[in-house]
Amino acid sequence: MPKTIRLLLVDDHPFVRDGVRMRLEATGQIVVVGEADCLDDAVQLATQLKGDQKPHIVLTDISMRTLSGIELTARFRQHFPNIAVLVLTMHNNPEYVRRAFDEGAQGYVLKDAPAQELVDAILAVYAGHTYFSVELRQYLEATPPAATLEEDITALTPKELATMKWLACGYSNKQIAQVLDISVRTVETHRLNIRRKLGIAGQANLVKYAIDHSRAKPDSNNSGR
């Protein structure tokens, strides 16, 4: 972990930005290096902030007066691939989650979640993990499974299938390793193999694919062991 995680905060409500900044900076782990209320200003700041002011993460709302946070996510993936995108929004529609991850977001947190959950999400995204709001994770776990999976999924081993299903539930590599009783390195290998076998480019696309194709919580008694 760095001394501080640098954050670019994007929301078109100054009151919301003030509250989020105060809560995050009170942790002593996170500093807000810039604020914007629209996509154009966010892009300009991301271009201007350099060196020890360059943000590690952009935290963005979805609904804004101009272009949406999903469009911001796509723009940042194209122009600032080293800046992770974390969505903070009131929208709990899973379709928004899928669209955000499809465009390259690495985390999705609801505004009515406890403040500590936002901190946890920032720490997880900085560490290279994906993060779903707890409420959304519970929804994804409870959603009935799709009737069938696409034929290309048959190329996956039982452990790879289990890894993909837990990934769809928002679990980190460490959490998946604990559930499947394997090492974190093995989980990373499974993820790489899944991407290779299914022709998936990038971690964000892997998460999106997992969400679309693994609708049920894996059976912990039959998780590919």
d(CA 12, CA 18): 11
Per-residue pLDDT of the chain (225 residues; tens, 9 = 90+): 557 899 999 998 899 999 999 999 999 999 999 999 888 899 999 999 999 999 999 999 887 766 677 888 888 988 998 999 999 988 877 777 777 887 888 889 998 888 899 999 999 999 888 888 877 766 655 554 443 344 466 778 888 888 888 888 878 888 888 889 888 888 888 888 888 788 777 677 788 788 877 544 444 444 554
Whole-model pTM? 0.66
Residue ranges of domains in the chain: 5-139, 145-213
Nearest alpha-carbon partner for 123 in 197, 27, 17: 27
Q: What CATH fold (topology level) applies to the domain 145-213?
A: Arc Repressor Mutant, subunit A (1.10.10)
CATH 3.40.50.2300 fits 5-139, yes or no: yes
